[in-house]
Homo-oligomer: A and B are copies of this chain.
């Protein structure tokens, strides 16, 4: 039996999350029951939603229990199987958590799915052709629902969601403007991710200057916005919305670590007749097949070239996760486990 190293949530953050909230332990991989398969994880996905699970305040899902393996998406390879539909060597995606191996009850629908790595690299199933990609797809199609020629904006533009959003929006004939932190990310957004423009929020650190930059980048106003960040970026975007603009709210990472960040001028909701809608992609499983198919095709066609930041080894996961919360990653944040 191989050893399985795991990272548990040891205690909850008081304000900002720190590495001391986590604890690394080692155990035996379990003996399989009938219907189970043993997956060796190649990559662990790190995502902002995990910060929400670390707290026990009211949220859309139960908090991560203390003393258990941190939740997380994983891709890997079947190394042992007691389920007829999975064979040793199959590549699979699932929610294996922050650990090197997981034993999965493969008969439960949705827990484990086989993935095809002919045209799509395995790690992409945690990003552009996984949960983040479907998140972009849902917000863009089901909430923003842009017409060709409309201008749509996204924050955290070079992240896993933002990259997919740009490719999907371009495919729908939109002008796509990104917001990201730093000149390197903005350059990448325009040159590799097909954004029409990308605004560096670090050089526009308040509502007034950012809103001015948005006015220049969006001369016809903003028709749709995908919110990953919250805080003053949302305030600045709202000032540039057109009548009947749609805002898909998927993340409020700016407020995760402490006091909630107010929305400065909610009367714009009325003045511009905005629709603002929050969503969680796991509650809309019905769109996943269609979304994953379109995203996989965009990757195969070279129209979606997401970037990855890869931390090496399970030990590196807590530090990489804290960096993600601060925007230190560049593209999809992964941990490589083999």
A positions within 8 Å CB-CB of B = 58-60, 230, 234, 243, 249-252, 255, 260-267, 269-280, 283
Contacts and interface: CB of A to CB of B under 8 A. Distances in A.
Given A60-B243, A243-B60, A230 B273 contact: no
A60 B274 CA distance: 11
A266 B267 contact: no
11 contacts: A60-B243, A230-B267, A249-B266, A251-B270, A252-B266, A252-B269, A252-B270, A255-B267, A260-B265, A270-B280, A274-B278
Contacts of A250: 270
A255 B276 CA distance: 20
Given A263-B262, A266-B260, A267-B230, A276 B276 contact: yes
A161 to B, nearest CB: 14
A277 B278 contact: no
Given A249-B269, A252-B267, A262-B265, 6 more contacts: A58-B271, A60-B243, A255-B266, A261-B267, A263-B263, A263-B266
Contacts of A265: 260, 262
A270 B60 CA distance: 8
Nearest to A243: B60
B267 A264 contact: no
Given A60-B243, A243-B60, A266 B262 contact: yes
A266 B254 CA distance: 11
- Among A249, A267, A275, A280, the one with the most B-chain Cβ atoms within 10 Å of its Cβ is A267
A257 to B, nearest CB: 12
Contacts of A264: 260, 262
Contacts of A260: 264-267
Nearest to A234: B266
Contacts of A263: 262-263, 266
Nearest to A231: B266
Contact of A270 (B249, B261, B275): B249
Nearest to A57: B271
Nearest to A49: B270
Given A255-B267, A265-B260, A280 B273 contact: yes
A267 B263 CA distance: 9
A266 B265 CA distance: 11
A58 B273 CA distance: 13
Given A60-B243, A243-B60, A262-B262, A271 B267 contact: no
A286 B272 CA distance: 20
Contacts of A280: 270, 273
A255 B268 CA distance: 11
A156 to B, nearest CB: 14
